[in-house]
Structure 1
């Protein structure tokens, strides 16, 4: 598995309420997307980004980070072969990603994801 990018997923109670802090104060001015329950904000100057998450739309828990990979199917097979706990099964989501959630040894939930071409 090759990791292309890691994005912090910060749990918030309300995206719109949190948005001003992260955009106006921290300067993450570009809203890459907003699905109502998850939104990504980026700094055009630095490329720094953050995803705000209220509650995942299809998974039982929200992840702490999202790891974008070039081959999510291989990553899933590798996680299962290593005996890691799969929290959310490998799924093709309606918003254009294929992903699964895996729990790390310390209990953190990681979203391993690939965007469909």
Structure 2
């Protein structure tokens, strides 16, 4: 799988309550998106970013990172071939991404996602 970007998914109780620390203090002042349960904040100067997540609205478990790839189909097939536990099957979400969640051998859940339509 070709990894284009990895985004940390920080668990927070409330996205709006946590927002000011990451935007005001850390300078991640651009809101990439905010769906209520997940929001991405970006530094316009450096391009650094982070996602704040209350809980994944469509998955039975939360992921610790999101891995963006341009070929989610082959990544899904490879995860299955290697026998990794699929936490959530490959799905086109209502907000336009295609993704699946897989459990790493260490127990961490990873969100593998393709943002292309």
Specify the TM-score bucket, using the shorter chain as the normaliser: over 0.9
Cα displacement (A) at 1:81: 0.2
Cα displacement (A) at 1:28: 0.4
The runs of 5 or more residues in structure 2 that have no matched partner are: none
4+ runs deviating over 2 angstroms: none
Separation (CA, whole Å) in 2 of partners of 1:101 and 1:26 = 29
The runs of 5 or more residues in structure 1 that have no matched partner are: none
| Secondary structure of residue in 2 paired with 1:76 | helix
Match of 1:74 in 2: 74
Separation (CA, whole Å) in 2 of partners of 1:116 and 1:43 = 22
Separation (CA, whole Å) in 2 of partners of 1:67 and 1:44 = 21
Normalised to the residue count of structure 1, the TM-score between the two structures is 0.98
> What do residues 50-96 of structure 1 show as CA deviations (whole Å, max 9, x unaligned)?
00000111101110000000100100000000000101111000001
Give the RMSD, CA atoms, in angstroms.
0.6
Normalised to the residue count of structure 2, the TM-score between the two structures is 0.98
How many residue pairs get matched?
117
> What do residues 2-21 of structure 1 show as CA deviations (whole Å, max 9, x unaligned)?
11100000010000000001
